[in-house]
Amino acid sequence: MSMVREVVLKRAPTATPVAEDFEVVERAAPTALSGQLLVRSLYQSLDPYVGSRLRGRHMGEPAPAPGDSLPGFSVGEVLASGDPAFAVGDRVVGEMGWTEVGVMASAETRRVSGDLPAAAHLGVLGMPGLTAWAGVTQLAKVGAGDIFSVDAAAGPVGGTAGQIARILGARTVGLAGGPEKCAVLTDIYGFDAAVDYRQPDWIQTFARETAPGSTVHFENVGLSILMPAMQRLQTYGRVVLCGMAEHYHAEAPPAQMPVGMVIGKRAAMLGLVVYDFYPRWSEWVELARPWIAEGKLVSVDDVSEGVESAPEQFARLMRGENRGKALVRMSDAG
Ligand SMILES: NC(=O)c1ccc[n+]([C@@H]2O[C@H](COP(=O)([O-])OP(=O)(O)OC[C@H]3O[C@@H](n4cnc5c(N)ncnc54)[C@H](OP(=O)(O)O)[C@@H]3O)[C@@H](O)[C@H]2O)c1
């Protein structure tokens, strides 16, 4: 009997998740029944929302219990198909846990093209890229003349959002923590300017780079950046509220945002939930494909090797130490 390895939850985290909250278990390889696909994982996606989900703080979804499989997309290859719509060898994206070989429900699985790197289907073309597209083009409707600011800009959501905004004609200013991440913004993603929010004078730098003020601000981190960014927003500016990474594991909920500022700025506050845009995934992929081919849209991956590396790779993401899309390479091909 062949065996496969999977990372499962070992204990329920009570604070920011750490590597010791997980364990690698070995199981007999599963089989695919009707309506299922047996899939060999190439890459596992690790995403910030999983940390909140583990603590029962994500969109009302239940927290996994100790011993349970973990949420998140995998890209892999079909080994056996219980659905005539999928063939052995198809490249697919779906959820099956952080496992080397697992089972996806075919109704919730997308076939993706094999002509792009497999990892791209979890990052720039995956859920983070779709989030960026939705916020920039469907909610904020960014175009030529906009001054676009975004934080956590070295990550897959922020980095992709900035690149889309630039392609659409906006001036782009990215905020990130530390000089290494800031270099990625200007040297790889092509932002017009990068602001290191760890520098004591970052607000002055941000004000100078966004002068006379952002017309669109895309928020991924939380109030420590949103508040100064709101103060620099132009009248009738748009704010995409996408993520609150700095608050996910805080003991207390974030302070209230003063709504008077929203009124004074005549600001449009646009809440974003990517689930709403899942039915339009192929629209984003088709738009992005030529941009990727022309080198206008690039991605940076932060990849760890092997299923056993997933707990520490996830802990790095939880600490904000990732440099690009957090991934685990689960097997050699791809
Ligand atoms: N609304 C939706 O539907 C949706 C969908 C996908 C993602 N999101 C959200 O979008 C944001 C970006 O996602 P991503 O996948 O691209 O993540 P990511 O940027 O790869 O990682 C999160 C980043 O947040 C920053 N950060 C600031 N304070 C932090 C803290 N206290 N703890 C941890 N990280 C901190 C770090 O970057 P710096 O060091 O540069 O600050 C970190 O690298 C997240 O908030 C995520 O939850 C929302």
Residue range 132-160: average pLDDT?
98
- Domain harbouring 248, CATH code: 3.40.50.720
Q: What is the pTM of this model?
A: 0.98
181 lines ligand 1 (CB under 6 A): yes
272 lines ligand 1 (CB under 6 A): yes
Q: Are 162 and 136 in contact (CB under 8 A)?
A: no
In this structure, is residue 296 part of a structural domain? no
Residue range 200-221: average pLDDT?
98
From the list 218, 205, 212, the residue with the least C-alpha distance to 232 is 212
For the record, the structure tokens of 40 come out as 């060999």
301-305 and 325-329 as β-strands: parallel, antiparallel, unpaired? Answer: parallel
Shared domain check, 171 and 65: no
* Sign, CA torsion 137/141/146/151: negative
219 lines ligand 1 (CB under 6 A): no
The answer to whether the bond into 212 is cis (omega within 30° of 0) is yes
Q: Which domain holds residue 218?
A: 127-275
Shared domain check, 239 and 167: yes
Residue range 122-126: average pLDDT?
98
Q: Are 9 and 70 in contact (CB under 8 A)?
A: yes
DSSP secondary structure letter of residue 187: I
Shared domain check, 305 and 176: no
Residue whose token pair is 């029944």:
33
- Average pLDDT of every residue of the chain: 97
| Helices marked H in 28-147 | 48-54, 127-133
In this structure, is residue 265 part of a structural domain? yes
What is the rounded distance in angstroms from the CA atom of residue 107 to the CA atom of residue 27? 25
In this structure, is residue 167 part of a structural domain? yes
Shared domain check, 236 and 180: yes
Shared domain check, 110 and 134: no
Q: How far is the CA of 320 from the centre of ligand 1 (A)?
A: 8
Shared domain check, 324 and 248: no
Shared domain check, 107 and 49: yes
- Domain harbouring 10, CATH code: 3.90.180.10
In this structure, is residue 287 part of a structural domain? no
Q: Give the chain's domain count.
A: 2
What is the rounded distance in angstroms from the CA atom of residue 96 to the CA atom of residue 39? 9
In this structure, is residue 248 part of a structural domain? yes
Shared domain check, 207 and 154: yes
Shared domain check, 31 and 144: no
In this structure, is residue 122 part of a structural domain? no
Q: To test the ligand 1 pocket, which listed residue (46, 53, 54, 131) has its Cβ within 8 A of the most ligand atoms?
A: 131
Nearest 5°: phi and psi at 63? -75, 140
In this structure, is residue 334 part of a structural domain? no
Shared domain check, 325 and 252: no
User: For residue 131, which atom of ligand 1 is closest to its CA?
Assistant: 5
What is the rounded distance in angstroms from the CA atom of residue 23 to the CA atom of residue 314? 12
Shared domain check, 171 and 106: no
Q: What is the pLDDT of residue 286?
A: 97
Q: To test the ligand 1 pocket, which listed residue (59, 198, 206, 242) has its Cβ within 8 A of the most ligand atoms?
A: 242
273 lines ligand 1 (CB under 6 A): yes
177 lines ligand 1 (CB under 6 A): yes
Residue range 269-296: average pLDDT?
98
Residue range 20-32: average pLDDT?
97
What is the rounded distance in angstroms from the CA atom of residue 163 to the CA atom of residue 149? 11
CA 174 to chain centre: 16
Q: What is the pLDDT of residue 154?
A: 98
Q: What is the pLDDT of residue 129?
A: 98
Shared domain check, 270 and 131: yes
* Res 333 pLDDT > 70: no
* Res 59 pLDDT > 60: yes
Summarised one tens digit per residue, pLDDT across range 237-247 is: 999 999 999 99
In this structure, is residue 27 part of a structural domain? yes
Residue range 187-193: average pLDDT?
98
157 lines ligand 1 (CB under 6 A): yes
126 lines ligand 1 (CB under 6 A): no
Closest Cα to atom 37 of ligand 1? 152
For a pLDDT cut of 90, what percent of the chain falls above it? 96
Q: How far is the CA of 66 from the centre of ligand 1 (A)?
A: 25
Q: To test the ligand 1 pocket, which listed residue (50, 185, 221) has its Cβ within 8 A of the most ligand atoms?
A: 221
Q: What is the pLDDT of residue 256?
A: 87
Tally the C-alpha atoms within 13 A of residue 303's C-alpha that lie toward its C-beta: 18
Q: What is the pLDDT of residue 334?
A: 56
Residue range 90-115: average pLDDT?
97
Per-residue DSSP letters for 230-272?
HHTEEEEEEEEE---GGGTT-SSPPPPP-HHHHHHHTPEEEE-
